[in-house]
Amino acid sequence: MAKMTTEEHVQSIREGYSFDGLAVHLGAALVDGQVHHAQVRLPLRMMNRHGLVAGATGTGKTITLQLMAEQLSGHGVPVFLADIKGDLTGLSTPGTPTEKLSARTASVGMDWQAKTFPVEYYSLGGDGQGIPIRATVSSFGPLLLSRIMDLNETQESCLQLIFHYADTKNLELHDLKDLRAVIQYLTSDEGKSELEGLGGVSKATAGVILRELVTLQAQGLEAFFGEPEFDTAELLRQAPDGRGILSVLELPTLMQKPLLFSTFMIWLLADLFSELPEVGDAEKPKLVFFLDEAHLLFNGASKAFLSSITSTVRLIRSKGVGVFFVTQTPKDVPGEVLGQLANRVQHALRAFTPDDAKALKATISTFPTSNYDLDAALTQAGTGEAVVTVMNEKGAPTPVAWTRMWSPESTMGPSKPEVVSGIIGSSALMQVYGTATDRESAYEKLNAAAGTAVPDQVPTGGSVAARVPGPGQSQADIDAAARQIEESILGRPSSIPHSAPGPGANDYAMPESTVATKKAPGRAPSAPTSDPKPDNPMLDMAMQAANMIGSELLRGMFGTKRRRRRRR
């Protein structure tokens, strides 16, 4: 393309980023090394087309997502942020004005004011001090669970039949010990006839699934599954002043438990997809995700998992949900996902090695034709500067703009621990989700039916992990751990706890098919039994499975079970 003059270049950027609707202000354009009065913005209407915030360590990625989250909140849009380093707790503390900050913000046309923002802090299953997020195994569903465990097609089909069996026998699957108990019952002498009635589920296949459950437990998922189950509608709330609530997820052990994070994210996106109505390109999104250290979401992921998240990201935009991946280089994101990210905020890249140079060249090729020397721009951009292109309101890419970014109005860095703990302690959600509950479910029912006792305290967290093999241990170790768990579940004497609703029962609606069936007074739970003398057990099972799939299409698609929302 013909070389533009400086004024022509500035004017093209100014026109390219002029929108009629609401927008997030990213900064001011840099042309020929000078800041110009050409604001670079991202239209809210297009944030459901997803995006990428990338750049080398220390170039300002976290500050950029903090800036975007603040402005989205100001427009009434709720935001979900994954916080690995704890820096995003600064959203709860107003920024500190300095001469340097005032000079910078004035130079990019920003009217900066110190502010705090409405924040809720979360943790996965209590892995952190935030409000615990949990999901039941039943709502998670067999298909998604199969993909997390990387089961083959035969094993996946068997797991679906096991879930269906539990549904028909009123064996609620709240946590991993419930699913283990059902599988162990089916592979025991008492459940042998039930296993045969399922058809196609061999004892060997059930054993493989059991061993994979032990592996999930070893990777930290035991605490994630359970009750009270988190209602994802909590992420869609606004503060009383109309600002969107910023939901910050603490991930202090993400490096050690990447599967926990990826499992949670695919469940969350699939659950939102199943619950939210179609809105298309609305004036502003219903919810925006910022997933920091996104490479951990994909590292070592199975093909089935990548297929799931690719499909979910593609489809969820019609629900008004935007997903922004934050990582060091675009190559950290699989091509199938990267191709769906229409908005790009690219901070500086470093080209120290031949592989770095190759990655830089690949990144440049993904930008529209530009009047900038993108090789120079992407390697010479300073901290707090980025090369930007977004989707305009007509669905076309905007001109590339080397941008000096605006600054967050909250603290750039962590808040004091007492500030964060005070917000968590005063949250109404902590009263609902703070204490784990263990209602009567498959584990208790099958133990009672077998005439054995239930332990006073279910082994979870570190006590169980101490008996579970970690990554890299032998199959024999895994088998031994599986047998040990089986013995601890079926062989410890204790008393049978009565069924009782957990705290917050008036406000919290449990999954429809996981609510325990009420028993007549004084009647002990009975062992699940097959219908007497079925004419054709295989046909009956197939018909029941077909009805279930037909009534729950989304569970068939994502493997998640539809749930009732809490009444507000």
- pLDDT at residue 526, rounded to an integer: 40
Q: Strand, helix or coil at 350? A: coil
Instruction: Spell out the SS3 assignment of 354-386.
Output: HHHHHHHHHHHHCCCCCCCCHHHHHHHCCCCEE
The tens place of each residue's pLDDT in the chain, 568 residues long, gives 568 899 999 999 999 999 999 999 999 999 999 999 999 999 999 999 999 999 999 999 999 999 999 999 999 999 999 998 889 999 999 999 999 999 999 999 999 999 999 999 999 877 789 999 999 999 988 988 888 888 888 899 999 999 999 999 999 999 999 999 999 998 888 888 888 887 767 888 988 999 999 888 887 788 889 999 999 999 999 999 999 999 999 988 776 777 788 888 888 988 898 899 999 889 999 999 999 888 888 877 777 778 888 888 999 999 999 999 999 989 889 888 999 999 999 999 988 888 888 888 989 988 999 999 999 999 999 999 999 999 999 999 999 999 999 999 999 999 999 999 999 999 999 999 999 999 999 999 998 876 654 443 333 333 333 333 343 444 455 445 444 433 433 333 333 343 333 333 333 333 333 333 333 333 334 444 444 444 454 444 544 444 444 334 344 445 555 554 444 4
In this structure, what are the phi and psi dihedrals at residue 181, rounded to the nearest 5 degrees? -65, -40
Q: Strand, helix or coil at 492? A: coil
Q: Which residues contact 252 (CB under 8 A, 6 or more apart)?
A: 86, 127, 128
Pairing verdict, β 401-405 and 131-133 = unpaired
Block residue for tokens 């209407």: 45
- Residue spans of the domains in the chain: they are 12-93+102-134+228-429, 137-226+437-516+528-558
Q: Burial, 566: exposed, middle or buried (Cβ in 10 Å; 0-12, 13-18, 19+)?
A: middle
Give the C-alpha separation, 397 to 273, whole Å: 26
Task: Assess contact for 46 and 390: CB atoms under 8 A.
Answer: yes
Instruction: Spell out the SS3 assignment of 44-67.
Output: HHHHHHCEEEECCCCCCHHHHHHH
Task: Assess contact for 140 and 225: CB atoms under 8 A.
Answer: yes
Q: Burial, 544: exposed, middle or buried (Cβ in 10 Å; 0-12, 13-18, 19+)?
A: middle
Output the pTM of the full model.
0.78
Give the C-alpha separation, 15 to 7, whole Å: 12
Express the helix, strand and coil content of the chain in percent, nearest 5 each: 45, 15, 45
Q: Which CA distances in Å does 142 have to 27, 150, 280?
A: 46, 12, 29
Query: Which H or E run includes 124?
Result: strand 119-124
In CATH, which of 1.10.287.130, 3.60.15.10, 3.40.50.300, 3.30.310.50 is domain 12-93+102-134+228-429?
A: 3.40.50.300
Q: What sign has the CA pseudo-torsion 473, 475, 480, 484?
A: positive
Nearest alpha-carbon partner for 182 in 547, 549, 456, 527: 527
Query: Which H or E run includes 247?
Result: strand 246-250
Give the C-alpha separation, 225 to 174, whole Å: 7
Query: Which H or E run includes 100?
Result: helix 99-107
